[in-house]
Chains A and B, each alone.
Chain A
Amino acid sequence: MDDVATPAAPDTSDGGVARRLATGVIVLGALVGLWEGYKWLWQTAGWTWPFAVDDVTMPHLYKVVEAFWQPTTTGGPPLIHSLLSATWFTGKEALAGFLLGALIGFLIAVVLSQSRLLERGLVPYIVASQTVPILAIAPMVVVGLGSKGVAGWKAVAILAAYLTFFPVAINTLRGLHSVDPRAVQLMHSYAASRWRVLWHLRVPASVPYIFTALKISATASVIGAIIGEAPASIQNGLGGAIVNFNQYYSLEPTFLWATNVVCAALGIVFFVAVAVTERLVLRGAPENIA
């Protein structure tokens, strides 16, 4: 349990934590500088191409930060209050969707890997599933499950899973096929069953592929949860907040920007959680294991 406190293993490759922290600060500073510099230059020079810059299209970043502490209604709690509870709500949807989607994606890959015919027959439909916009599916899922008495956030989790399963299925399938044919021949020479070849060879060999997919899916599940809230008419999440602040954008643009920052932060938290897990699981693996 002691190890949990040190998820980021000491980075021996490029100069340790301090250096990485410094790089992060410099990059952030540069981005802030670019934003404010662009805003200042375009406003001072009066340029209108590619778009006119004012406090509505590009509010000052310090104002966005300030917005967190402003009440959204007169005398109400500060914005950060409602955003945190919305983040918790959407985070729950996204996490449930992520886990469900990852599990489904993994199982689909395992089943397809067992038969070339099945793989050739079904992969096109799996790909096709991702060309249908989530907005088109959302009403069916939300209304369909709603009529069965399923809570709205669970329907949104399923929409998040819909975006999550795809990268996991495709990458896992590739990982399961990635094994050295001679490693399979070795297993044959031990008279190992198909199940054991899968469990002792193909699945462990695909773990690096699965993590690559999970990192893509981690952010996709957050997007799925946020977007799914709109057609589900869920007000308690970040999607609800975005829809709400959209309507008041010209009056108070900083609220929407602040919400965007929180959405990005949630996505980053998901991504980092997967990346840290990957490091722990593949600890000691060579760099060249992709």
Chain B
Amino acid sequence: MSQSSDTVVSISDVSKSFRTGVTALQGISLNIRQGEFVSLIGPSGCGKSTLLRIIGDLVQPSAGAVIVNGKSAEQARLDHDYGIVFQDAVLYDWRTVARNVSLPLEMLGWDRTKRRARVKEMLELVELTGFESNRPWQLSGGMQQRVSIARALSFDPALLLMDEPFGALDEMTRERLNMELLQIWEKARSTVVFVTHSIPEAVYLSTRVVVMSARPGRIAGVIEVDLPQPRTAETREDPRFFEHVTAVREALAGGGQMSKSAPEIF
């Protein structure tokens, strides 16, 4: 597979079968460039979360290879190239908000002064200044998820892997966090791989949407989202936004076999 110089993730012919005999992924090939925001979308069971975990070296592929920044996925993990955000914040209850954000920095051996400065900076970024000494369970679900994002970005990973990070939140919180995430992405200039089952969310956030189909998990289509940056609340009302939503929906339904439906219905 050809690889341009700004490729961050190169996935070639990756398959994954589980011991139960289920084939979760088959023949996945995908390149992700520096600074891209790529969403993986598909029905449940299409292996999108598995693919994310394979990129992050949390799951081993049965076949194929993943190269991250020119290294194996394992080496990339050992080099701290991944920031991971799950559907639930997965914060440590016995640590304060500040100490949750500093957890990866402690693992990376940063000294106390450096850690403190970075935690302050990260909490400013996710607008949680003043909550340093709160415990995670004292925060709302949306705030907890922002702590989790601050933790994932704290050590400047090359790649941010997000597994349905806003899936458990209500719609209003979700849309607000979508906007905040884009602002953070702008500032941090990182590369994001984002798993979601929400079509509007994928279109709103992404520079590229990878549509997957289930059993076995395959790439059914890739849709470039060339909506202007930076995206704002108005983006969601842009007719071109709906065109992209429709395109993703049709790709999900089976590669454009469906007739073009009215864009405002969804």
Contacts and interface: CB of A to CB of B under 8 A. Distances in A.
B92 A286 contact: no
Interface residues of B, number: 25
B225 to A, nearest CB: 27
Nearest to B88: A182
B211 to A, nearest CB: 25
A191 B80 contact: yes
Interface string A187-219: 111111000100011001101000000000000
Contacts of A4: none
A183 B92 contact: yes
Interface string B51-85: 00100111000000000000000000111101110
Contacts of A185: 53, 58, 84
B58 A188 contact: yes
Contacts of B135: 284-286
Interface in B91-116: 92-94, 103-104, 106-108
B56 A189 contact: yes
B90 A192 contact: no
B57, B79, B80, B90, most chain A CB atoms within 10 A: B90
A189 B77 contact: yes
Contacts of A190: 80, 103-104, 107-108, 155
B106 A200 contact: yes
B90 A186 contact: yes
B58 A189 contact: yes
Contacts of B58: 185, 188-189
A189 B92 CA distance: 16
Contacts of B84: 185-186, 189
B93 A286 contact: yes
Contacts of B78: 191
Nearest to B161: A189
Contacts of B79: 191
B92 A201 contact: yes
Contacts of A128: none
Interface of A is mostly: helix
Contacts of A285: 93-94, 135
A207 B107 contact: no
A289 interface: yes
A11 interface: no
A286 B144 CA distance: 15
A207 B83 CA distance: 28
Interface in A207-239: 207
Nearest to B163: A182
Contact of B103 (A182, A200, A286, A289): A200
A240 B55 CA distance: 67
B79 to A, nearest CB: 8
Nearest to A281: B94
Contacts of A3: none
Contacts of B108: 190
A188 B106 CA distance: 14
A286 B93 CA distance: 9
A180 interface: yes
Interface of B: 53, 56-58, 77-80, 82-84, 86, 88, 90, 92-94, 103-104, 106-108, 135, 137, 155
Interface of A: 180, 182-183, 185-192, 196, 200-201, 204-205, 207, 284-286, 289
Given A187-B107, A205-B94, 4 more contacts: A188-B57, A200-B103, A204-B92, A285-B94
30 contacts: A180-B88, A180-B90, A182-B86, A182-B88, A183-B92, A185-B53, A185-B58, A186-B84, A187-B107, A188-B57, A189-B82, A189-B83, A189-B84, A190-B80, A190-B108, A190-B155, A192-B107, A196-B107, A200-B106, A200-B107, A201-B92, A204-B92, A204-B94, A205-B92, A207-B94, A285-B93, A285-B94, A285-B135, A286-B135, A289-B93
